[in-house]
Chain A
């Protein structure tokens, strides 16, 4: 239930603006890959193109190949809806649907495909997903209350539960902790460690320590200047990137000399 992602010479555009240029990388299954780099370097754009969410912005498109276990995500006949069902996403700010209860939020994605889910089956799925997101114990007595009543960290774990209830192959996380306090951040980081046993996880983060703590592989993105496209500078095992990177700019960024 976990797949390999491979990008080959990927360019990402917003209209005529080239946001990301010539990315080639392999993201291994059952591991955590972190994207780091200064603001505007294209790491979020890259992440969003992995499940075709960047298409939501009008005029955005990609060139090159992006393969999920050998199948091109942008091939002819590929349905972005199917892509997104298999590649789940967690956003920077927790975004549970405000009008739905906690349980309805978890089941929101599943209900789309499986309209007549039996009550007991739905309960099981919801429990499994919430347990998977380390949230079950905290909310099991208030499943029918609105999700917006939870704390920020709980809301974010609810969003993770909502994503893993779909049983995706890949889980994308776009700075999932940037709106959370340190304790909630720790809970999410622990959760990421558990989830990597079953999912391919890609996480964008501004927090270098977080990348060092949770990820197995790290990719460093950078831009030459404003208006220039973002590029992948270097990618490798996290230990190596954080101790002996090949590129000078990677070292500068990690040691805090810029960015």
Chain B
């Protein structure tokens, strides 16, 4: 008894506890905002920071006094958790806003139809880079999807607990952790050894991206295949369907929407990669339709190049960089959206 009732003995009703009124946090927030504006000198960042600090500390002290230590800690945790979430929205809003604001200036028809061949200063576009991105990512997808899909099938359907399966799982994990620049260096080194030093072309870029993409595909597809209920497989076996046909006609169709969305998300994950392509696919100012010959510009590298090596005046180059950045964001978000919609819309009815 002595231990449990130290707070409840205060009030007549043992169930009640000191409580701040419901409007207290809102009043506190208002007050904190005023304090923030006064002491922050009307600067957004400083005012917000001061207001947040005043609010969190003030409410904690108030709650400590009225509601006791445990309630006060609960409130403190709640305010910090909410604050962290709002904090994370700052860069999201900031980056999207600035990309739209600076990118719209050059997001016009010439941007998508002209390359940078013979362009100095204004005008020009990123057609060569957009084509390059399509080539490189397309080839990378063509390499990664079969390997990734089949590996996932091996792991989920054939490997079981064998040493080989465990080894592959481990090395897929290792591969997930390969830094993108290292993938680029690998592609460079491979091309250098196969075709002579300094061979930099679209294929090299595609190989670099494949190294990044394969583990993503394996992971997501394997996970999906494991969700497919065993009853389906057993039902097929019981009908005398051989294993490979069961996989092709029962297991994969069941998981197909997830597989497609996994592949799309994997593409979205690599399409914005810059560093490996700088190393393995290189730079150029003109359209190159041959992935096996000569350097190939890609959209992320175009953005970097326009920013890092502007001509004079610099502004048109930076405008193009932002337009490229906005295009890239839109592509990646679109791919993400499509992937998510496919996954959600066509998913077989599962537990969750």
Contacts from A to B (Cβ < 8 Å): 1, 68, 71, 73, 75, 77-79, 81-83, 85-86, 110, 112-114, 117, 125, 166-167
9 of the cross-chain contacts (CB-CB < 8 Å) are: A71-B14, A73-B15, A75-B15, A78-B15, A79-B19, A79-B71, A82-B14, A82-B15, A112-B70
Q: Which residues of A contact B14 (CB under 8 A)?
A: 71, 82, 86
* Best-surrounded residue of A81, A83, A113 (most CB of chain B within 10 A): A113
Closest chain A residue, CB of each to CB of B11: A77
**Complex: A149 Cα to B8 Cα, angstroms:** 36
Pair A113/B1 contact, Cβ less than 8 Å: no
Pair B70/A167 contact, Cβ less than 8 Å: no
Q: Which residues of A contact B13 (CB under 8 A)?
A: 71, 75, 77-78
**Complex: A86 Cα to B71 Cα, angstroms:** 17
Pair A166/B15 contact, Cβ less than 8 Å: no
Q: Which residues of A contact B3 (CB under 8 A)?
A: 110, 113-114, 117, 125, 167
Q: Which residues of A contact B15 (CB under 8 A)?
A: 68, 71, 73, 75, 78-79, 82-83, 86
Q: Which residues of B contact A166 (CB under 8 A)?
A: 4
Q: Which residues of A contact B19 (CB under 8 A)?
A: 77, 79
Is B31's beta carbon under 8 Å from chain A?
Answer: no
Contacts from B to A (Cβ < 8 Å): 1, 3-4, 6-8, 13-17, 19, 70-71
Q: Which residues of A contact B8 (CB under 8 A)?
A: 82, 85-86
Closest chain B residue, CB of each to CB of A114: B3
Pair B16/A78 contact, Cβ less than 8 Å: yes
**Complex: A143 Cα to B319 Cα, angstroms:** 69
**Complex: A51 Cα to B113 Cα, angstroms:** 69
Pair A167/B17 contact, Cβ less than 8 Å: no
Closest chain B residue, CB of each to CB of A1: B1
Interchain nearest-CB distance for B58 vs A (Å): 22
B interface: dominant SS: loop
Nearest 4 interchain pairs by C-beta: A79-B17, A78-B15, A77-B16, A71-B13
Interchain nearest-CB distance for B126 vs A (Å): 48
* Best-surrounded residue of B1, B4, B8 (most CB of chain A within 10 A): B4
Interchain nearest-CB distance for B10 vs A (Å): 11
Q: Which residues of A contact B70 (CB under 8 A)?
A: 81, 112-113
Q: Which residues of B contact A77 (CB under 8 A)?
A: 13, 16-17, 19
**Complex: A164 Cα to B16 Cα, angstroms:** 21
**Complex: A117 Cα to B4 Cα, angstroms:** 12
Pair B6/A113 contact, Cβ less than 8 Å: yes
Q: Which residues of B contact A75 (CB under 8 A)?
A: 13, 15-16
**Complex: A86 Cα to B231 Cα, angstroms:** 47
**Complex: A81 Cα to B3 Cα, angstroms:** 16
Interchain nearest-CB distance for B12 vs A (Å): 9
Interchain nearest-CB distance for A73 vs B (Å): 6
Closest chain A residue, CB of each to CB of B15: A78
Closest chain A residue, CB of each to CB of B13: A71
**Complex: A73 Cα to B13 Cα, angstroms:** 10
Interchain nearest-CB distance for B105 vs A (Å): 46
Interchain nearest-CB distance for A167 vs B (Å): 5
* Best-surrounded residue of A78, A79, A125 (most CB of chain B within 10 A): A79
Interchain nearest-CB distance for A19 vs B (Å): 23
Pair B7/A113 contact, Cβ less than 8 Å: yes
**Complex: A96 Cα to B111 Cα, angstroms:** 63
Interchain nearest-CB distance for B68 vs A (Å): 10
Closest chain B residue, CB of each to CB of A3: B14
**Known A78-B16, A79-B17, A114-B3; further 6 A-B contacts with Cβ < 8 A:** A75-B16, A78-B15, A81-B17, A86-B15, A110-B3, A167-B4
**Complex: A130 Cα to B141 Cα, angstroms:** 62
Closest chain B residue, CB of each to CB of A70: B13
**Complex: A114 Cα to B13 Cα, angstroms:** 21
**Complex: A81 Cα to B6 Cα, angstroms:** 14
**Complex: A79 Cα to B6 Cα, angstroms:** 15
Closest chain B residue, CB of each to CB of A121: B3
Other-chain contact of B1, A68, A78, A85, A167 (Cβ < 8 Å): A167
Q: Which residues of A contact B7 (CB under 8 A)?
A: 82, 113
**Complex: A235 Cα to B78 Cα, angstroms:** 43
**Complex: A79 Cα to B70 Cα, angstroms:** 12
Pair A113/B4 contact, Cβ less than 8 Å: yes
Q: Which residues of B contact A1 (CB under 8 A)?
A: 1
Closest chain A residue, CB of each to CB of B67: A79
**Complex: A82 Cα to B11 Cα, angstroms:** 12
Closest chain B residue, CB of each to CB of A68: B15
**Complex: A73 Cα to B15 Cα, angstroms:** 7
Pair A85/B17 contact, Cβ less than 8 Å: no
**Complex: A85 Cα to B8 Cα, angstroms:** 10
Interchain nearest-CB distance for B341 vs A (Å): 26
Q: Which residues of B contact A167 (CB under 8 A)?
A: 1, 3-4
Q: Which residues of A contact B16 (CB under 8 A)?
A: 75, 77-79, 82
Closest chain A residue, CB of each to CB of B16: A77
Q: Which residues of A contact B1 (CB under 8 A)?
A: 1, 167
Interchain nearest-CB distance for B255 vs A (Å): 32
